[in-house]
């Protein structure tokens, strides 16, 4: 299962994806399905990011699948340019596709697995934040027994899970086992400016449980080009966390880096697809959660062949989180452009702020 996404243009500003772009992406996916490249697909948006969810039998990092996503995004960007939509082609940082979209701008989460009797998968896609926004989420799901009682109650899960953690600055990674190395794990992933979780596997058999995108657009481009709005795939049930354990971290929102100009801390608000648009101060950062079942290599479909996708956060159960998120948003906005509403100096290095400060450089006088 591959989830590949890019911001290829939006309306108005950075709010949401325009309908004609979604229609074009869907057309490209339908053609690819007909040609036998993919088995099934679902196109949706997380704020201003276009998301291509695909099932296929080509494995992770397949040049054919990545090529399909790249061509689809290129075609959509062309359309966005014609319509003069905002940030047309924003996340397509190079013209030179050479087999894999990683490092070219789009975000990718892929999981490859042998189907069990029944395979539920939760698809997370976020806007106005960065991959490390999933650190807290994945910790709660796979390492915190107060969230996931299966870690205590389900004998197939008491072995715990391993986290593959990427150092995004040094481009190196380390695998840490929970619960044995939980404190070391938290020491790393609590530092969201540097560390992000690539994937999670079950300790006793190495079964893949989750995978997350880890693109760092600004490191690739060397300048601010928007945040690396992330995606994540999480497998559920039968010896993996239940669907409810995967969604329950969103009983309360938490603060993530991104929001306006990728430069502010804001609450991570769970929303249904109909509210997947970033309005207030270009936010607040939002996440959609979709539930699917994988069945014989396909997204399980209804009688008309349409994939059955359950919009998990389109539910009153998450109203409290949304209310709390807006209280947090209001509180953070009272600080204007002052810290801690604004990101720390390290993270601000990758925004447009240094360009503003450059003009002051010559005016500083050494204090006696």
Is omega for the bond preceding 340 within 30 degrees of 0, making it cis? yes
Nearer to Mg ion, 200 or 255 (CB): 255
What pairs with residue 164 in β-bridges? Answer: 175, 199
**How many CB atoms are closer than 10 A to CB 323?**
12
Nearer to ligand 13P, 8 or 37 (CB): 8
Residue 161 Cα distances to 146, 167, 174, angstroms? 15, 19, 14
C-alpha span between 20 and 12 (Å, rounded): 14
- Residues in the interface with ligand 13P (CB under 6 A) total 20
C-alpha span between 348 and 110 (Å, rounded): 30
Residue 244 interacts with which of ligand 13P, Mg ion, none, CB < 5 to 8 Å by class: ligand 13P
In the three-class reduction of DSSP (H, G, I as helix; E, B as strand; rest coil), residue 93 is classed as coil
100 forms part of the interface with ligand 13P (CB under 6 A): no
127 forms part of the interface with Mg ion (CB under 5 A): yes
**Chain residue at closest Cβ approach to ligand 13P:** 226
14 forms part of the interface with ligand 13P (CB under 6 A): yes
49 forms part of the interface with Mg ion (CB under 5 A): yes
Instruction: Write down the residue that tokens 């490859």 correspond to.
Output: 112
Nearer to ligand 13P, 60 or 159 (CB): 159
28 Ramachandran zone, left/alpha/beta (phi>0; psi -120 to 50): alpha
Interface segment toward ligand 13P; rule CB under 6 A; list 52-60, 75-83, 260-268, 295-303: 260-268
- 141-200 positions binding ligand 13P, by CB under 6 A: 154
Nearer to Mg ion, 87 or 239 (CB): 87
- Chain mean position to CA 193: 16
- The residue from 5, 7, 41, 49 that is catalytic is 7
- 224-253 positions binding ligand 13P, by CB under 6 A: 226-227, 229, 237-238, 242, 244
User: Cβ of residue 237: shortest distance to ligand 13P, in angstroms?
Assistant: 3
Q: Which strand (E) or helix (H) includes residue 149?
A: none
Residue 120 interacts with which of ligand 13P, Mg ion, none, CB < 5 to 8 Å by class: none
- The residue from 5, 28, 227, 277 that is catalytic is 227
- 190-229 positions binding Mg ion, by CB under 5 A: 229
Residue 260 interacts with which of ligand 13P, Mg ion, none, CB < 5 to 8 Å by class: ligand 13P
Q: Is 7 a catalytic residue?
A: yes
**How many CB atoms are closer than 10 A to CB 324?**
16
Residue 321 Cα distances to 243, 249, 310, 315, angstroms? 18, 10, 19, 11
C-alpha span between 345 and 342 (Å, rounded): 9
In the three-class reduction of DSSP (H, G, I as helix; E, B as strand; rest coil), residue 56 is classed as coil
Q: Name the residues that contact Mg ion, by CB under 5 A.
A: 7, 14, 48-49, 87, 127, 229
Q: Name the residues that contact ligand 13P, by CB under 6 A.
A: 7, 14, 47-48, 87, 90, 127-128, 154, 226-227, 229, 237-238, 242, 244, 260-262, 282
């Amino acid at each position: 299962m591959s989830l590949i996404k890019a911001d290829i243009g939006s309306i108005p500003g950075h709010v949401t994806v325009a309908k004609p772009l979604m229609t074009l992406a869907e057309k490209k996916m339908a053609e690819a399905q007909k040609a036998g490249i993919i088995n099934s697909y679902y196109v949706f948006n997380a704020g201003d990011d276009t998301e291509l969810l695909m099932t296929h039998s080509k494995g992770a990092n397949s040049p054919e699948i990545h090529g399909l996503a790249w061509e689809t995004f290129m075609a959509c960007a062309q359309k966005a340019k014609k319509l003069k939509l905002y940030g047309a082609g924003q996340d397509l940082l190079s013209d030179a596709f050479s087999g894999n979209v990683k490092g070219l701008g789009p975000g990718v989460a892929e999981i490859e697995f042998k189907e069990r009797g029944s395979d539920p998968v939760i698809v997370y896609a976020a806007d106005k934040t960065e991959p490390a926004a999933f650190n807290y989420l994945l910790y709660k799901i796979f390492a915190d027994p107060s969230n996931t009682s299966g870690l205590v109650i389900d004998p197939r899960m008491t072995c715990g899970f391993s986290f593959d953690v990427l150092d995004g600055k040094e481009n190196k990674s380390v695998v840490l086992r929970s619960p044995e190395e939980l404190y070391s794990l938290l020491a790393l992933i609590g530092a969201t400016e540097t560390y992000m979780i690539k994937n999670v596997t079950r300790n006793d058999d190495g079964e893949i449980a989750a995978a997350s995108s880890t693109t760092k657009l600004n490191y690739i481009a060397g300048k601010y080009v928007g945040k690396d709005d992330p995606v994540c795939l999480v497998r559920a049930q039968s010896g993996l966390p239940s669907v409810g354990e995967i969604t329950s971290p969103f009983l309360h929102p938490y603060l993530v880096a991104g929001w306006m100009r990728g430069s502010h801390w804001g609450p991570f608000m769970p929303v249904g697809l109909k509210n997947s648009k970033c309005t207030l101060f270009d936010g607040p950062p939002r996440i959609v959660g979709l539930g699917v079942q994988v069945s014989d290599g396909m997204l399980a479909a209804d009688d008309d062949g349409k994939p059955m996708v359950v919009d998990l956060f389109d539910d009153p159960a998450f109203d409290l989180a949304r209310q709390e998120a807006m209280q947090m948003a209001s509180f953070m906005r009272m600080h204007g452009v002052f810290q801690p509403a604004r990101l720390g100096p390290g993270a601000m290095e990758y925004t447009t702020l240094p360009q503003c400060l450059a003009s002051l450089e010559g005016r500083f006088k050494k204090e006696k």
